[in-house]
Structures are given as structure tokens and as C-alpha cells.
Structure 1
Amino acid sequence: MAPFAVFQTFLSILMFLRIYQSEALAKPLPLTPESLKVSANSTHQCLHLQWTVRNIPYHQELKMVFQIQISRIKTSNVIRVENYNTTVKWKQVLHWSWESDLPLECATHFVRMKSLVDDANFSELNFWSNWSSWKEVNVQESLEQDTLLMFPKDKLVEEGSNVTICYISRNTQNNISCRLEENQIHGEQLDPHVFAFNLNNVSFIRKHGTTIFCEGPPKQKKGIVLFVSKVLDEPKDFSCETRDFKILSCTWDPGMDTALGFSKQPSQSYTLFESFSGEKKLCTHKNRCDWQITQDSQEFYNFTLTAANYLRKRSVNILFDLTHRGETGVVAAHIGH
């Protein structure tokens, strides 16, 4: 870097520090997060945060840490503390998301944050700012006024997962009983109108979902369906062969079909990717896929077969040598490591 450019950078940093030097205090003022906005996505049980940091100088980037607190029901009941590390630019809008285990309709949530500069060029700013004010997120205010409500609705989870559900009763009498299929379940009271239930290690019962319902006087009854998917299997016995050196025929054992009813989750898809050519093909069958052999003297094919459903992906690899012949004239595939 030219001496003049180094001098300019030094002056820029020096001017920046002087801007934040308080006349009354010995240390500079912190860069505090502001314009904090919190929105709720009930379908995915997520809170989305958006904010800015005022007074970041033009053409400067600062490494910063934002400590985020999330409370439930009341501000003193902190359930999550997380540090978010990122680089902040002038006038940049920052984003962060959090997924709740409890449906957002079941309780009011509160969010606040503070920040510090974690940048060697601005060591004098390496201290925490004040907390922002609490932002309240109350999804219940937008709900219909039924006497009994249950959440989440039509949630998709994988077998073995832990799931939290709740009911909201507009009636002050809480003699409401709930069942998972035919088995009674017992919950925890969150407030006078809300009970939550923790379902651990949920099992697959049927493709059309697991029924959970609550009922109580006078003639209150509500139900939800929990869609539990079988765990996606890794493709087994993946192999390829060719008899005409024009088409590679790859086959595998797909394992359990993870399709669910009511179009909640289709059967898993399979994609074949060849790393040397960078080409990818979506397979039209669940247990086989044909690949066109190129005419450019490519001898090796490094395949990755990926199975995917809405909840996860599973991949296996093989390295295929086109020049290797077996006694039957079928080219064998070799499992890659």
C-alpha cells in the first residue's frame, strides 16, 4: 500500500474515533442498535429481526457482536441468549431469525439486543452498548375468537422429534382434557388461558397424520393433525453399469418411502450429480437413473446420488471407471471413499 494511502487510512480511523469521543466522558460512545423491528412467521414458528446501527462512517466496515435476548410471557423470563457476529457497513440493514420450540400463538414473546465493536482497528469501542428497548410480539391478538384453539396446525416433523403443542381457551374454566390418538396427555399451564404439552420422541403412526384433540365444557372441542415423517434412508447398494458405452444405468435401493397424505410431503426425490463435468440430473424414478456417456473421452465419472425430502437430504458417492471391463462386458462401479 502506498504511503499516502496508509496515511489516509490512519486519518480516517483517527477522525472516526474523535467523532465518537464524548466531551463529558473519557471513553467514546457505543454504536447502539436501533430501529429494531420484529416480525413473526407462525407457519415456521420463527421470529425475524431487522435493525440498523447508526453512525457507521461512510466506506467503513466494522466487526460487531450483537447479543440478543428473547423472553417469553414476561420480560424477566429470558429463554434464549445468543451472540450474533457479523461485519456491519454504512446504512446496512441487519437480519437475524430464531425458531421457537413453542408455537408463537401460545405465548407473548419479547426481544431486545445490545452490541459491541469487536474490531482491532477500533479497540476503544470494544465495550457493550446499552440494551435496546424490549419489542413485544403478541400473535394471539390476531387470532379468531373461538372459545378453544390449538397450535401448531398441520406441523410436519420427523419421527423421533420432540414437539410442543398448546391449546388456548377463552373460557376461564380449565377443565379441558387432551388426547394424542386414544392416549390422554398432560401439560403445563403457561397462563390462565394457555396449556402447553411436550411430546417427546414422536412416532410415525400413519401417512395421514397423528390426531391430537382437546375437549371441555360447554361443548368445546378442537383438534390438530401432526404429520410425522419416517426418517429418510440413505440410498443403499448404489451401482452403475453400461453395456453399450452410450448409457450408464445407475440403480439403488431407496429404502422407506417418506410420502405423507394430503400432499403434506411427496415421495423423496433423487438427484444424480457428476463432479468432473459439473452436470446434474433429477431422476424420474425412485430406484434408477440413466446417464448419457459423453463423447469427449471422459474415462471417470464421480457420481453423488442425493435423496431429499422436505426435512433432510442423504447422499452417497461412487467413482465409475469406464475403461474397466468385467468378464461379462459390464463395466463395474467402485464405491468412493
Structure 2
Amino acid sequence: FLYCGPQNVTLQHSGWMLLLSWEDQPSCSAVQDVLIYQLVVLRTGQQVHYFGFKDEVSVTSDQIESTHYWNWTSSLALECASHSVRLRSQTSPWKEQTIPGKQTSEGPEVFPKDEWFKVGSTVTFCCILPSREAFSTMYLTGYDGAQLNTTSNQTYALTVHLNQVSENSCTNVICKTKTNKENGACVYIGYPPRYRDLRCETRDLESVECQWTVEGGKSRPFKKPKDPQLLGRPCPMPSEGRCSQKVEKVGVGERNWRLTAQNEFGKAELSDTADLSKRVHMFAPNGVKAVTVNARSVILQWDWTVQQYNILNITCQVHMRCGEITIIENFGVGLNCAVLNGLIPNWTYNVTVRCGTAQYFWKWSDWSKKVLFQTYGDVPEALDVWMQMEGNQVKIIWKV
């Protein structure tokens, strides 16, 4: 029979979490198989969590003589009651460590305080009374019908389903004694970033630009999301509902574009699967001008701010206004000009141009700046004229 168990057991806490660490006794070095530890969590002496034969903490032979760690998150703030952890191996007695609950001598104290809770959470608040005070009431501002329990002689617990956002500031949790002593805590209730409908594209073929919908209107100051991250990197110039990042290569097939954002209430994750070479949202044509103007035709010309547009198969629309609206469509690789025929001589025209990719059309660019031009006057062709003599008369004839 080999006696082997834990030693140097330490229990600490962080927030609502119990953190247990321990080492193996020297005799455990003789264990050839797996060493199994069992743990029990007690709250005010009552068992609330147990790692038994189905969920043991197993230590393999190569892990023996190292420090082992285990943690557990309580559903009740650790100030509200004492929390103990018991630990043993299959051949050792229990060893116990305790984190005591909060004690008060002045007036009632409420926990947790200054915490952030997501809408939809169920939270238990507690009120701890001094030894000679009697409990009167406990409530959460704006909530009715919460469940009230007693956890010990001087500790009372209020369990509430949080379904209302804190307005302007925090929500108060109030506890009163029968001698009219009153104290409370302030908690914040809200939503994680409420983002949806992520859509990603490229404009310059060197970066990805994503947009999404922000629900719920403007965020209140205390729950404003931290700057979102696209592809695991902070957005360099974040704005509401938009983010861009440089990428090594655009045309590498479909890829998962992932956006994450978080605030004190939680984290939001969105993704969009797309091949950016099929989602090119072009910039508007730059510097559109009428380079050759005739009486009945004109040549329009422009350039591109993105050099890679010159190798794309492009379709462009010319919007022409001259009393009536006409839209003319042109196609071509690196298209940077258009010829408009059938114009009216000596007439003023107002034109603007927009373009998109032709092979995998995604969306039109913005319209370019408007261009005004006037066609030249048209000189009629010389008439085909001849004369006929009939006696004393001359007849002049021309072809229409």
C-alpha cells in the first residue's frame, strides 16, 4: 500500500474564481500509473461542486513532482460566503483550504459591487448585516419579483434575472435594516457589441475593407466597445461600422474574414467568407474630361488612382443630361475613355461616369465629378445645284 497525496496546498482567489495549487508528496514519485486527485467545493460548509470518479484531476507519471493548478468559478460573489476546497488522492485523507466571506461591523454591505453583467444573466446579490442588525428589505432598482433567500444568519441573497439595460449610469442594489440603516451597490447591465451583417470587399486590391451594422443606436459612454479587430489586428482608423486592413495578397481564393469586438459585457465575433478578387469596389474615375469635342460626338477620358485597375476588365456607364437623361455603357480592359456619338450640335451637355468590374461584377463605383461641355455648331454641306434655261427663263434646281 503506497501512501501518496498532496502537499503545499494553496487556495487563492481572483474575482469570482477560486485558484488552487498543490504539489505531490515525495512518495508519489514511486507511482507508475496515473495519480488521481478528487476535489470538493463547499460554500458555508455545504457541498456545491464535486470532481468525482468521472471527472478526476489526473496527473501522469511525467507530471509528478511538478506544481498542479485547478480553478473554479463561483455563481456567488466570494464575499457573500466562505468557500472551501477539499483535496485528496485515492490513498490520502482530505486537505482543506478556505477563503472566508466578508464580515461587517458598521452597517449592511452589498456584493457584488461595481460589476458588469450582460443582459439576460441571472445574478445573485447578497447583503451582509452586522451581528446585531435585523434584515428589512433588499431590492434591485426597476425589478420586481426577485427571489430572496437566507444563506446564513446575517447574510441574505437576492437572485435576479437581469433583463433591463442600465440607463445613463449604473443600476442600484439596495439593502435596508429594521433600524433604517441602508447601503447598496452599483452594477452595470448592458449588451456586448451588437454587430451583425459583416460584408468585406477590396477597393485598392491591396487591402480588405469591411462594413457591418451596429444595432441599438449609439452606445452609452460606459459601454462603448473597445476598438474592433480585423484579422486579429486593431483597426488602424476605426469608425462606426467600418474597418480596413492591409493584406499580403488579395487574389488567393476564398478566405474567412473575421471581426472581433468587445466591451465590459462581452465579446462579439462576425465573419464573412469571400474571394476579394470577385469583390472589387472601384473608386470613381478620376479627372474625367472632354478631350475631343465635335458637333455630333465627343471623346471622354479619365484616369485611375489605383494602378491595378489598368489590368482589370471594366464596364463603365456614362450618365448624360441634356434635357433628357441617357445612360451609355462601355466595356474594356483598363477602360479609361468613352466615345459619345449622335449628339446635338451647339448643345450643352452634363456628364458623369461610374465603373465596375465586368468579369465578376460586385457593385458600381461612386459617380465621378460632373463635366460640362458644349458641342460645336454644324456647318451644312454644299448644295448640289444646277440651272436649266427655258426660253427667257433660268430655272435653278438643287437636290435635298
TM-score by length of 1: 0.71
Q: Given the alignment, which residue of 92, 98, 102 partners 1:130?
A: 92
How far apart, CA to CA, are the structure 2 residues paired with 1:220 and 1:332? 71
Give yes or no for contact 1:34–1:132 (8 Å, CA) kept in 2. no
Match of 1:320 in 2: 275
Report % sequence identity: 17
* Paired letter, 1:104: L
Distance 1:50 1:236, change over 3 A: same
Tell me the distance in 1 between the aligned counterparts of 2:156 and 2:361. Answer: 60
Q: Partners of 2:361 and 2:131 in 1: how far apart?
A: 69
| Structure number with higher strand proportion | 2
Contact 1:234-1:316 within 8 A present in 2 as well? no
Instruction: Confirm or deny: 8 A CA contact 2:165 2:190 kept in the other structure.
Output: yes
Match of 2:205 in 1: 245
Task: Measure how far apart 1:245 and its partner are.
Answer: 3.1
Inter-CA distance 111–132: structure 2 relative to 1 (3 Å threshold): same
| 1:269 and 2:223 matched | no
Distance 1:236 1:259, change over 3 A: same
Q: Which residue of 2 aligns with 1:16?
A: none
The secondary structure found in structure 2 opposite 1:176 is: strand
Alpha-carbon shift at residue 221 of structure 1 (Å): 0.7
Alpha-carbon spacing, 1:298–1:73, altered in 2? closer, same or farther (3 Å): same
The alpha carbon displacement at 1:293 in A equals: 5.2
Counting only pairs closer than 5 Å after superposition, residues 232-311 of structure 1 correspond to structure 2 as 232-242=193-203, 244-256=204-216, 259=219, 261=221, 263=222, 265-273=223-231, 280-282=233-235, 284-292=238-246, 294=248, 298-300=251-253, 302=255, 303-310=257-264, 311=266
Deviations 1:102-150 (A, max 9, x none): 11111112211123xxxxxxxxxxxx2233232222132xx55322111
2:124 is aligned with 1:152: no
Q: What is the CA distance between 1:29 and its match in structure 2?
A: 1.0
CA distance in 1 between counterparts of 2:2 and 2:77 reads 39
| One-letter amino acid of the structure 2 residue matched with residue 29 of structure 1 | L
Deviations 1:232-269 (A, max 9, x none): 43431423131x434443222133479555x4x43243
Indicate if the aligned counterparts of 2:85 and 2:98 stay in contact, CA closer than 8 A: yes
Give the stretch that moved more between structures: 301-310 or 154-163. Answer: 301-310
One-letter amino acid matched to 1:72: R
**Aligned twin of 1:54:** 25
CA positional deviation for 1:324? 6.3
Aligned residues: 278
From the superposition, tell whether residues 104 and 246 of structure 1 become closer, same or farther in structure 2 (CA, over 3 Å): closer
Q: Give the Cα separation in 2 of the matches to 1:239 and 1:298.
A: 14
Contact 1:46 1:100 in 2 (8 A): yes
State the partner residue of 1:5. none
Give, as a single letter, the amino acid of the residue that structure 1 aligns with 2:243.
C
Q: Deviation at 1:193?
A: 0.6
Contact 1:321-1:332 within 8 A present in 2 as well? no
**Structure 1 residues 249 and 222: CA distance shift in structure 2, 3 A:** same
Name 1:29's counterpart in structure 2.
Answer: 2
Q: Which has the larger Rg?
A: 2
- Counterpart in the other structure of 1:106: 80
Report the RMSD for the aligned CA atoms in angstroms: 3.0
The aligned runs of 1:169-248 (5 Å cut-off) are 169-183=129-143, 185-242=146-203, 244-248=204-208
Distance 1:62 1:256 in 2: 56
Counterparts of 2:155 and 2:361 in 1: how far apart (Å)? 62
The SS at the match of 2:228 is strand
Deviations 1:288-328, CA, capped at 9 Å, x for gaps: 1223354x674446222223334223231222232666854
Please state how far the C-alpha of 1:170 moved relative to its aligned partner.
0.3
The DSSP-based 3-state class of the residue aligned with 1:57 is helix
**Distance in 2 of aligned mates of 1:316 and 1:228:** 27
Q: Does 1:45 align with 2:16?
A: yes
> Shift of the alpha carbon at 1:219?
3.6
Partners of 1:272 and 1:306 within 8 A in 2? yes
1:66 aligns with 2:37: yes
**Deviates further, 157-166 or 31-40:** 31-40
Query: Which residue identity does 1:316 align to in structure 2?
Result: S
Kept in 1, the 8 Å contact 2:41–2:47? The answer is yes
What residue identity is the alignment partner of 1:46?
M
